[in-house]
């Protein structure tokens, strides 16, 4: 069904419906179309200094840490991230303030006027809208989170001063290839001759090093050029060939991602003081990342949706159990997309009771598929539900005071529960 073209009086939901049907495919990797529209609107340099962040996991928290430290340094900062959890406007933050619906619509109108006959995907449109808002705000620094891969992602129309790769794992194999080498090559596509590259992946694929060399991009890697060490429960040190920062506070994001952000700042041309790093770390947290939303019973939400993220979630849960001397049951409310590595992800998670929900749409996986994988892995006490909220309500009903409920598996899973809380 053709959606009527919106105008300046249309609300944001009308615009988003229009965007969803504008292009024949949801994902269409390539830069020519989106770059042409960006050139027409003069958006290829949205701020004087640019960070671009790619990787399988840790992009969002790396971006958030960068953002908080740069704000502590009194710089004007824009961040573009995806996907959103509750509102489309979450995708753009300017000086840590979420974009408004009207600001987003104003950007859409400019893009619609400029694109002519050029067809754009939903993500390309969203990316251009972010760049337009950043340009209007006259910022000092922009941080762009890559949506998928790197080389052909819409964010890569902008040449970064610092190009960051957080981690490399197997994900999005239909688009990026099925090996860490092929995925690394795609992620490293954000490296440019004007950039410096920062890599937070300890087991670095050769393809990343080769890509940096081929475009003459200086590269600085964890455990070679920089490192970090947790010294106590609440303090850690960072070391690089440029700077050393000692006795830093532990942030509410994974330490590896905070260290990657600090490495990026360490090798950048920006002047950041130790006290500004400490202040930024104390303010670094992100919705949906091992976030407690309820106590008694304890409910934690986490967007973990692949093996690497599942491993981090499992380790955090183990630490939490030890800290609380937890003796109750771990209850997982889980729903996933069918194009993820479901089998490997589920094999890493350790729980006592499983509430498997179906996600709908073209990419959604049915709950009974998750159940089958769990049973094959000798995990029992598994129930299936038609949707996430039914699964969550069942877990709440069953849980005793000392139990822990984990809601995970997808941004969609976490979003459904957060939407219920927001009602």
338-350: average pLDDT? 93
pLDDT band at 21 (very low <50, low <70, confident <90, very high): confident
Considering the domain architecture, whether residues 307 and 253 belong to the same structural domain is answered as: no
179 closest CA partner among 189, 165, 169:
169
Domain that holds residue 389: 291-422
Closest by Cα among 93, 59, 100 to 78: 93
The predicted pLDDT at position 360 comes to: 85
- Are 259 and 295 in the same domain? no
Same domain for 78 and 159, yes or no, is yes
Q: What is the CATH number of the domain that holds 360?
A: 3.90.190.20
Indicate if the pLDDT at residue 28 is higher than 70. Answer: no
Are residues 243 and 321 both part of a single domain?
no
Across 259-271, average pLDDT? 97
The answer to whether the pTM exceeds 0.85 is yes
Count CA within 13 A, CB hemisphere, residue 155: 27
Same domain, 136 and 243: yes
Q: What is the pLDDT of residue 170?
A: 66
Residue 55 lies in a domain: yes
Residues 263 and 360 in one domain: no
- 200 and 305 in a single domain? The answer is no
Place of tokens 């400019």: 110
pLDDT at 223: 96
User: Are both 39 and 188 inside the same structural domain?
Assistant: yes
Single residue among 236, 261, 282 that ends a domain in this structure:
282
Q: Residue 176: what pLDDT?
A: 58
CA angle 153, 164, 303 (to 5 degrees): 70
Whether residue 6 is contained in a domain is answered as: no
Residue 7 within any structural domain of the chain: no
Q: Say whether both 225 and 252 belong to one domain.
A: yes
Q: What is the mean pLDDT of residues 81-86?
A: 92
Asked if residue 3 belongs to a domain, the reply is: no
* 125 and 66 co-located in one domain: yes
pLDDT in tens, 277-326: 999 999 999 889 899 999 889 999 999 999 989 999 999 999 888 887 76
Q: Are 155 and 128 in contact (CB under 8 A)?
A: no
| 173, pLDDT greater than 60 | no
For residue 301, tell me if it sits in a domain.
Answer: yes
HSE of 68, CA atoms in CB hemisphere, 13 A: 23
Is residue 172 scored above 60 in pLDDT?
no
Average pLDDT value for the chain:
93
The answer as to whether 4 is a domain residue is: no
Question: How high is the pLDDT of residue 361?
Answer: 83
Token digits for 303? 């967007």
Q: Is the pLDDT of residue 122 over 70?
A: yes
Identify whether residues 137 and 104 lie together within a single domain. Answer: yes
Q: Minimal CA–CA distance to 126: which of 34, 21, 54, 50? A: 34
CA angle 303, 305, 311 (to 5 degrees): 95
Q: Which of 282, 312, 337 is the last residue of a domain?
A: 282
Question: Tens digit of pLDDT for each residue in 30-82?
Answer: 799 999 999 999 999 999 999 999 999 899 999 999 999 999 999 999 999 99
* 69 within domain boundaries: yes
Distance CA 392, CA 356 (A): 10
State pLDDT tens for residues 225-248: 999 999 998 999 999 999 999 999
Examine the fold and report which residue of 282, 310, 328 is the final residue of a domain before the chain moves on.
282
Domain-embedded: residue 25: yes
Q: What pLDDT sits at residue 178? A: 64
- Sheet of strand 92-94: strand arrangement: 97-98, 92-94, 77-80, 141-145, 49-54, 162-165, 196-199, 219-221
Do 346 and 245 share a structural domain? no
Please report, for the domain that includes residue 210, its CATH number.
Answer: 3.40.1190.10
Count how many domains the chain has. 2
**CA dihedral sign of residues 279, 285, 286, 287:** negative
């Amino acid at each position: 069904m053709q959606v009527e073209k919106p105008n300046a009086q249309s609300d944001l939901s009308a615009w988003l419906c229009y965007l969803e049907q504008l292009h024949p495919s949801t994902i269409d990797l390539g830069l020519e179309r989106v770059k042409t529209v960006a050139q027409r609107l003069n958006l290829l340099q949205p701020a004087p200094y640019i960070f671009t962040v790619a990787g399988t996991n840790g992009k969002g928290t790396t971006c958030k840490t960068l953002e908080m430290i740069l704000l502590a340094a009194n710089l004007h900062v824009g961040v573009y991230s995806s996907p959103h959890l509750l509102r489309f406007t979450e995708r753009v933050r300017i000086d840590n303030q979420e974009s408004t619906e009207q600001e987003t619509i104003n950007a859409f109108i400019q893009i619609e006027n400029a694109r002519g006959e050029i067809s754009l995907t939903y993500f390309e449109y969203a990316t251009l809208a972010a760049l337009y808002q950043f340009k209007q705000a006259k910022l000092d620094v922009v941080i762009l989170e890559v949506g998928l891969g790197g080389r052909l992602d819409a964010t890569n129309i902008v040449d970064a001063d610092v190009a960051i790769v957080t981690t490399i794992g197997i994900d999005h194999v239909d688009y990026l290839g099925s090996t860490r080498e092929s995925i690394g090559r795609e992620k490293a596509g954000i490296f440019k001759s004007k950039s410096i590259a920062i890599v937070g992946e300890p087991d670095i694929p050769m393809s990343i090093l080769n890509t940096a060399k081929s475009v003459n991009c200086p590269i600085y890697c964890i455990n070679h050029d920089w490192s970090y060490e947790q010294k106590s429960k609440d303090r850690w040190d960072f070391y690089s060939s440029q700077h050393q920062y000692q006795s830093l506070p532990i942030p509410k994001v994974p330490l590896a991602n905070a260290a990657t952000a600090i490495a990026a700042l360490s090798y950048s041309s920006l002047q950041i003081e130790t006290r500004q790093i400490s202040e930024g770390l104390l303010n670094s947290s992100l919705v949906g990342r091992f976030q407690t939303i309820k106590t008694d019973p304890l409910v934690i939400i986490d967007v973990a949706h692949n093996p690497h993220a599942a491993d981090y979630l499992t380790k955090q849960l183990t630490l939490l159990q030890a800290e609380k001397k937890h003796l109750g049951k771990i209850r997982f409310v889980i729903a996933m997309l069918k194009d993820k590595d479901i089998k490997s992800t589920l094999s890493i998670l350790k729980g006592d009771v499983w509430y498997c929900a179906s996600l709908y749409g073209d990419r959604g996986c049915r709950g009974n598929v998750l159940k089958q994988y769990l049973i094959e892995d000798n995990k029992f006490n598994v129930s299936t539900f038609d949707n996430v909220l039914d699964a969550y309500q069942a877990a709440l009903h069953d849980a005793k005071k000392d139990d822990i409920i984990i809601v995970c598996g997808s941004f969609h899973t976490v979003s459904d529960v957060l939407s219920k809380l927001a009602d």
